[in-house]
Each structure stands twice: as C-alpha cells, then as structure tokens.
A and B are shown apart, each in its own frame.
Chain A
C-alpha cells in the first residue's frame, strides 16, 4: 500500500524545537519533490515547505523562513522537517505530501502529526 506516515509531533514550549519525520512506504520518494503542509484544526491548509527530489533545492513559506529546515534521506525513504524557535501560531497538524509531476498536484498525503506549542 502506498502511504506516508508522519511522526515526531507533540507538545513543546515556545522557543523550543521539534523534528518531524515522514516515512514513505509502497513507493520510493527518490524521484519526487516532497512537501510539508500544515492545518490549524478547524482551519484551512497552509503550505510550509518543499524539497527537490535530490535535496538540492528547498523553498519555504515566509512565516517559517529561518526557523524551519526541510531535508530528506532518500536511502531511508524519509522526509524531515526541523522546526526551531517554535511559536504558539505554529500549532497545527503537519502533513507531508508527495508532489506528482504529471498532475502538478499533491497526490499522496500522510495522516498528519499534531504539533502544539504552549507553555
């Protein structure tokens, strides 16, 4: 079965750090751009970051630039999001998503991992 499984979410204090992981199964992420998208519960979707298939290029939403870092380990078939200097407004469900180059859209999404930033 083709799927993405996020992990690493949890409760962290403001200013703290978390590292999210997204493990792929049923397919290899090697040839795909991969993305992180977040959603405050009950609210809309918000794109966070993306990384090229070989890891050579990354992009970030302005609200996470300088604080978050996306990376990948194709050998482990895993995507990561290092989140530093976390703020209360970063509290959300974080989804990883596979970008389909034929569709130019996100065709596989993980189930999400919840991040709560609170003292």
Chain B
C-alpha cells in the first residue's frame, strides 16, 4: 500500500519560513493536499492540487510537489500557525494521509 512520510515535528522562529516535507514514492506524479489541525479542532484544507489555496487561506501558505517529495511552505510564520499538518494523496480509490507534522513557532 502507498505511504506518505512526514517528520514528527518542525520548529520555526516567528517571521521565518517553515518548510514541511511529505515524502512518498513518486509522489510528484500525484496531487497532494495539505490539512491543518489545531488542538481540539477538526482538520481544515489549506492546499489542494499541490499548490492551490482554498478561499480564505492566506498567501503565506504555498505548496510544491516534485519527484519523491511534496512540501508545504509557510512564510512569515506566526504563532497562529502552530498546528499539526497532514499531507494527503490518493492511491487509486483510497485516501492516504501522512503521519502528520507538529509545527512549533517559537
């Protein structure tokens, strides 16, 4: 079965850029989606089709996907960005999630 791998945690200083990787075998040939989950809340879509932002998501959020790695990039990181971030792709009819990365802004 297909797997997506994310580092358990990433730390970034306020105002700096956070890069959250998501690796998988030829993930660049698939569309990747990113979800943000704040403590006690449900997940929320922040990136779809590798690079696109749903309405309401700030331009600070961007994505890329090539080869074996997709990346969520958050520029000008803020305390409000602290959350768990999950990548997701489709393996045929099955949605596959990465294990999630906890982003700490400090």
Contact = CB atoms under 8 A, between A and B. Distances in A.
A106 B93 contact: no
B28 interface: no
B95 A35 contact: yes
Interface in B76-104: 86, 88, 90, 93-100
Contacts of B61: none
A49 B33 CA distance: 18
Given A44-B86, A45-B35, A45-B86, A105 B45 contact: yes
Contacts, number: 58
A59 interface: yes
B29 interface: no
Interface in B24-71: 31, 33, 35, 37, 42-45, 48-49, 52, 54
A11 interface: no
Interface residues on chain A, size class = 20 to 34
Interface residues of B, number: 24
Interface string A38-77: 0000001111001000000001011000000000000000
A1 interface: no
Nearest to A106: B45
A107 B54 contact: yes
A103 B48 contact: yes
A111 interface: yes
Contacts of B97: 37, 44-47
Contacts of B94: 47, 59, 61
Given A103-B48, A104-B48, A107-B54, A47 B42 contact: no
9 contacts: A35-B95, A44-B98, A47-B97, A105-B45, A107-B54, A109-B42, A109-B44, A110-B42, A111-B42
